[in-house]
Amino acid sequence: MGMLRIGIVVLGLLLPPHYAAAVDDSVPVAGKSPSSIPQSVAARSPKEPQPEAATGVKRAAFAQIQASRDVRHIADWVVDSADNRGLPFVIIDKTDAQVFVFDAAGRIQGATPALLGSARGDHTVPGIGDREYSNMPPESRTTPAGRFVAALGRSSARSEDVVWVDYDSAVSLHRVVTNNPKERRLERLATPTPLDNRISYGCINVPKRFYETIVSPAFTGTNGIVYILPETRPAREVFGSYDVEERARRQFAVQAPSNAGIAEASPNGQ
């Protein structure tokens, strides 16, 4: 595991963004129709989120991509509060084993199934980044929850680029690892349930094509923010987020009496 931390090099690849909708790595699943198999989905250039005229709040643009309530809650909060500080961002839903990639304006670029740490938990074991795989007991193989400033870098152990999410803990977002056929990682990505997506030592595995056409372009030439949703406590507790819909209602309630007063003061009552 310690070898993963050798030689981080931020890449300067100027790759143009592409919009692909299929999972290159997926394999057929016996007895399942193509429509029932999870697929990577690329957004078709959604419009940039605009403040609502009545309240001034902003929300993320999901286009037609489906997401859990927690994912939408965090995405809307990130856009409305500008918590991403003008950087592209990723939301990782551990419960549903999904990854969502957004541009800096909050427009979704794509979503995909993912493989995550085999152990349930939101913590990081101290010193885990310095251990070899053979010295990582099953209970230590968690994907930690939290907000991380991430960047493209190089994994010396794997000789390829990855997105370092938590460098000190050796947690990265990368192409699916397939060097151990017994783990059946491609098959796990293709099943319609997230119950078999917990197999890694803590890293986030996504289909190769999704990584190369959605993830890598999003982080090329810039850092980004990765939000990993918790699975043992509320997301609001981890991120200090607020409900954008609640803020919109409060804002509307404040502005409504003021607008009514303006209308009454008008000469023609219009």
153-181 pLDDT, tens per residue? 998 777 899 999 999 888 999 999 999 99
The pLDDT tens digits of the residues spanning 217-252 come to 999 999 999 999 999 999 999 999 999 988 888 876
Q: Is the pLDDT score of 265 beyond 90?
A: no
* 255 domain-assigned: no
The answer to whether 46 and 62 have CB atoms below 8 angstroms apart is yes
In a domain, 167, yes or no: yes
Longest dimension (CA), the chain: 80
**Residue among 98, 140, 95, 144 at smallest CA distance from 119:** 140
CATH number at residue 93: 2.40.440.10
Kindly state the average pLDDT of the residues 196-221.
Answer: 97
Q: How many domains does the chain have?
A: 1
Check: CB of residue 77 under 8 Å from CB of residue 246.
Answer: no
Query: pLDDT of 77-124, one tens digit each?
Result: 999 999 999 999 999 999 999 999 999 999 999 999 999 999 999 988
Residue 133 — pLDDT band, cuts 50, 70, 90? low
Domain that holds residue 216: 2-242
Could you write out the DSSP letters of every residue in 38-86? ---EE---PPPP---TTT-----B-TT----HHHHHHHHHHHHHTTTTT
In a domain, 254, yes or no: no
In a domain, 252, yes or no: no
- Please check whether residue 63 lies inside any domain of the structure: yes
Please report whether residue 180 resides in a domain: yes
Does residue 250 sit within a domain? Answer: no
Q: Which amino acid is at 146?
A: G
Dist. CA 155–CA 174, nearest whole Å: 10
Q: The whole model's pTM is what?
A: 0.78
Residue 259 included in any domain: no
Partner residues linked to 153 by β-bridges: 162
Can you tell me the distance from the alpha carbon of 246 to that of 259, in angstroms, rounded to the nearest whole number?
20
The rounded mean pLDDT for the chain is: 81
